[in-house]
Amino acid sequence: MDFVEFRKIYNIYKDEIYNEILSINRNSIRVKKEQTVIKNLEKIFEAALKISNRKGFQAMSMRSLSKESGLSMGALYAYFSSKEELLEMLQRQHSNIMFRIFEYQIKPDLDAQARLNTAIRTHLYLSEAMRPWFYFAYMETKNMPRIKQERAMESELLSEKIFSDIIKEGIKQKIFINNRYELTAGAIKALLQDWYLKRWKYSRRKISVDEYAAFIINLIKSYVFKPN
Amino acid sequence: MDFVEFRKIYNIYKDEIYNEILSINRNSIRVKKEQTVIKNLEKIFEAALKISNRKGFQAMSMRSLSKESGLSMGALYAYFSSKEELLEMLQRQHSNIMFRIFEYQIKPDLDAQARLNTAIRTHLYLSEAMRPWFYFAYMETKNMPRIKQERAMESELLSEKIFSDIIKEGIKQKIFINNRYELTAGAIKALLQDWYLKRWKYSRRKISVDEYAAFIINLIKSYVFKPN
DNA sequence: GTCTATACACAGATAGAC
DNA sequence: GTCTATCTGTGTATAGAC
């Protein structure tokens, strides 16, 4: 699988994003006509991600969101009851779509090595396709109240577990060396996150997402196969 | 070198931090008595880092900073002319102290392997000793205006260059394999940053800073020495 | 040097016309 | 469903007493 191939799978899901947001938040959205809701949610979310990823969610005023999205302040509040609710919608939607695609992609019928590759590629390609969402989720959870941060931490650990489980199994099957699988899984996550957190750096150096995928996979393999 | 040893070196510098802040910002600080300035700057900066690292600098109100630092609003503005200036003071101080210690620590008389170790350990230990500063600098540069972000990006590349130069030299000396040294340096940075960005995770798992240093070093070595 | 009290701008949110 | 106009709280910053 490379990025081009991944995009085909992803595009099927993509159109459902706003349908899903609608059905989850049906009761808090005052507007009735489905078509209108979907069209406007898309405008609102895109604008919110754009401004937030530049200045931070906190610093984004409702006035600027109104201007960027093309809807008036009054209209915005027909889609959520407070700025904080908008934040929650964005966060939840990100984690939903992420785990959904992950679940679908990682087939259990492959050996540990192939599954590790798939997991790394899936995560990386997904973050590339949905970069504004990933960046937003990473940066904005840090400034949230304790309780909601806990949720984000669980989500981090859960996605890390996908990697550590695969490595553990590889160790059991004697394919990999028994060598700090938990730290290794954490390292994979950190490297994957670097891709969307410092996109500017990789763009400047003209590193493609496929190149970066290959690099991470090689780096990790050299460690889990290390003879010493 | 381990963390205990590093702390001894660090402690010598530590006391100079506020002296240095004072001398750099002498003209924008209205208070004359040196002792007073140093004592209060410490209070202000500690409070600012504490609140910002929990809620973000933007979300920290001057009222809350006043309360946390124990100084009145009026008093605060004797030390900086605007909230933005406070932000600048914090940022600049962080990058100053970082490059200062780095320069001092990395001796050129060692071979590439030993220098790579020292560089990794120095960066990691420094971020551990000054965690609130590092966390702050990482999170808050993202929301800054273009021009200032450029500065932060240059700083990222500069510190990355320390690692890539060492690796390049190792390749030249035929100690290391010629294997994407730029991406490798970036990976080292990402792994080092993960330590202070997700401190909660490592604390929970009871990973010591020395353990983590050894892990990164092993991971990277297995790649730069990889036989294939 | 530090305080309290206050100015003034702008934030989030809503009411009511269309 | 969407708009404009407006309410009310909170933000940064400063003036002037001590």
Interval B103-144: pLDDT, tens: 777 777 789 999 999 999 999 999 999 999 999 999 999 999
**B191/A191 touch (CB, cutoff 8 Å), yes or no:** yes
pLDDT of residue B152: 93
Predicted model pTM: 0.97
Radius of gyration of chain B (CA): 19
Asked if strand C comes closer than 7 Å to B32 Cβ, the answer is yes
**A198/B156 touch (CB, cutoff 8 Å), yes or no:** yes
Give yes or no for B3 touching A (CB within 8 A). no
Say how far A73 CA is from C1 C1', in Å. 45
Which residues does chain B have with pLDDT short of 70? Answer: 227-228
Nearest CA in chain A to B141: A55
Residue A228, pLDDT > 90, answer no
Contacts 24+ apart (CB under 8 A), A155-161: A155/A95, A156/A189, A156/B198, A156/B201, A157/B201, A158/A99, A159/A98, A159/A99, A159/A102, A159/A123, A159/A189, A160/A185, A160/A186, A160/A188, A160/A189, A161/A185
Q: Quick one: B220 exposed, middle or buried, by C-beta within 10 A (0-12, 13-18, 19+)?
A: buried
Render pLDDT for A81-123 as a digit per residue (tens, 0 to 9).
999 999 999 999 998 888 888 877 777 778 999 999 999 999 9
pLDDT of residue A190: 98
pLDDT of residue A14: 82
Amino acid occupying residue A136: F
Say how far A223 CA is from C18 C1', in Å. 67
Closest CA to B77 of B113, B102, B114, B40: B40
pLDDT of residue B109: 77
pLDDT of residue A6: 95
- Rounded CA-CA distance A144/A138 in Å is 11
| Minimal C-alpha gap between B221 and chain A (Å) | 9
| Minimal C-alpha gap between A59 and chain B (Å) | 7
Q: Which of residues 187-216 of B touch A (CB under 8 A)?
A: 187, 189-191, 193-194, 198, 200-201, 205, 207, 212, 215-216
Whether domain B3-224 has CATH 3.40.47.10: the reply is no
Residue A65, pLDDT > 90, answer yes
Render pLDDT for A127-167 as a digit per residue (tens, 0 to 9).
999 999 999 999 999 999 999 999 999 999 999 999 999 99
Q: What is the largest CA-CA distance in chain B?
A: 65
Closest CA to A115 of A4, A11, A220, A10: A220
| Minimal C-alpha gap between A140 and chain B (Å) | 9
State chain A's mean pLDDT as an integer.
94
Radius of gyration of chain A (CA): 19
